[in-house]
Amino acid sequence: MTRDQVEIVLVAAGGAVAVGALGLVAARLLRARSLRWQLVLVAVVSVVSVLVGVLGMARLMFLSNHDLGVVTLVATTAATVAIGVSLVLASAVVRWSLELRDQVRLVGGPDGVYGPDDAEGADDAGAARGSGVAGSAGPVGPAEFQALAVELASARERLAEARRREQALEESRRQLVSWVSHDLRTPLAAMRAMTEALEDGLAVDPERYRRQIGSEIDRMVRMVDDLFELSRIHAGSWQLRPEPLSVLDLVSEAVAAADPVARTRGVVLVGDVADGVEVVADPGGLARVLSNLVMNAIRHTERGGRVVVSATARGELVEVAVSDGCGGIARTDLERVFDVGWQAGVARTPERTEPGGRGAGLGLAIVRGIVEAHAGRVSVENRGPGCRFLVELPGLPGVPGRPEAVAG
């Protein structure tokens, strides 16, 4: 490197260092101000550093006053234009950041999840992923800002869905408290009346009154047990003790236990299980699932109807189905069947024709909780003369064989 080149580098570096130092001082003073001034400051430091270097070298070159003026005018004009462009870009960046700030404010706003003026934003949020827009605000600056806007729109959707689930759960809890209170108050009032009749000697058939009191007590005990079981499932404290189980044995036990009730109601109960089907599950939990589904099917099947419990292995899944003759469920209610406290009937008064009366609408909610705890899935559909409840569980694929009749 020649001496002239070294001198040029030193002059340019000296001017740039001096301007950069002043820029750092200015940046510290402006650190709490708008981003606009920070961005303009970067452009000013860059342009002025070049301008100082050019003017310094022009003086060292002993240019004439005319030439020096030309160089100065050209450099100053270029610096002015550059600073103007930086102002425009800085204003745009500030505007984009303000738009993002407005979108952030909409997340968790007072009106649900969306802000008060964002009724349309929820509908447009889904389109943000494909078009690079968030809500209804349109494109927001460079790619990084657009990506952030899309993430904000996605977060708003997730929060909205979480809020809806929370509200649905809260409504379900309120309904459950109301329904359980009613279902407990009814047998308590009946037992009080029968007890007073027995104490006053007004009971025409004391033995029947005692049997009825015992039946109501059993019903309340089952309801309290269901509530306790459901609370354990929802709290995550229900412990699974999985072990290899024969589905044929489980269905046989469930059918044998429910067959007397089915005969009393005039319902034909049949088990139809493929030979060799096995599943890894908690014995008590899966037995509870089958019992709840079978008893529910019997309860809602008309006299002379038929309830079929079937099971088969499909690849790595075991499917257990309970089909009844309930006449079907309204399409609007199919999604609510497994909700806590849901019952098909409108009346809340227990049916005396049924042993122990009706429950509190907790059985199917317990079924779903236990099945999902096994990493399985339960669903319902209208099929034939009634409904078909299908439980899908991870299992040990068996060798399909001749279906064996369990009972009926």
Residue 361: per-residue pLDDT = 63
Q: Which residues contact 120 (CB under 8 A, 6 or more apart)?
A: 136
Instruction: Dump strand ranges (E) for 152-305.
Output: 243-246, 268-273, 278-281
Q: Is 119 part of any domain?
A: no
* Amino acid in the structure at residue 17: V
Could you tell me the pTM of the whole model?
0.51
* Amino acid in the structure at residue 179: W
Structural domain ending residue among the three candidates 61, 87, 106 = 106
Residue 343: per-residue pLDDT = 61
Structural domain ending residue among the three candidates 106, 138, 163 = 106
Q: Is 90 part of any domain?
A: yes
User: Residue 297, Cβ neighbours under 10 Å: how many?
Assistant: 27
* Domain enclosing residue 292, as ranges: 241-408
pLDDT in tens, the chain (408 residues): 677 677 777 777 877 788 778 878 887 787 777 777 777 778 788 778 777 777 777 777 666 777 777 777 877 787 788 778 777 877 777 777 777 777 777 776 554 444 444 434 434 434 333 333 334 445 566 677 777 777 777 888 888 888 888 887 777 677 667 767 766 777 788 888 888 888 888 777 888 888 888 888 887 887 777 777 777 776 666 677 888 888 888 899 999 989 988 998 999 999 888 778 888 888 888 888 898 899 889 988 988 999 999 988 887 888 899 999 888 888 877 777 777 666 655 433 334 434 444 455 677 888 888 888 888 898 988 988 888 999 998 866 444 433 344 444
Residue 62: per-residue pLDDT = 60
Q: Is 22 part of any domain?
A: yes
Residue 45: per-residue pLDDT = 80
Structural domain ending residue among the three candidates 84, 106, 128 = 106
Of 236, 218, 172, 174, residue with least CA distance to 365: 172
Of 393, 392, 398, residue with least CA distance to 242: 393
| CATH number for 253 | 3.30.565.10
Q: Is 361 part of any domain?
A: yes
Tokens encoding 156:
């708003």
Residue 309: per-residue pLDDT = 92
Q: Is 335 part of any domain?
A: yes
Helix 35-60 to helix 65-106 angle (10° resolution) is: 170
Residue 82: per-residue pLDDT = 77
Residue 112: per-residue pLDDT = 41
Number of separate domains in the chain: 2
Q: Using DSSP bridges, classify how beta strands 377-383 and 386-396 pair: parallel, antiparallel or unpaired.
A: antiparallel
Q: Is 163 part of any domain?
A: no
Q: Is 254 part of any domain?
A: yes
Q: Is 277 part of any domain?
A: yes
CA within 13 Å, CB half, 332: 0
Residue 340: per-residue pLDDT = 66
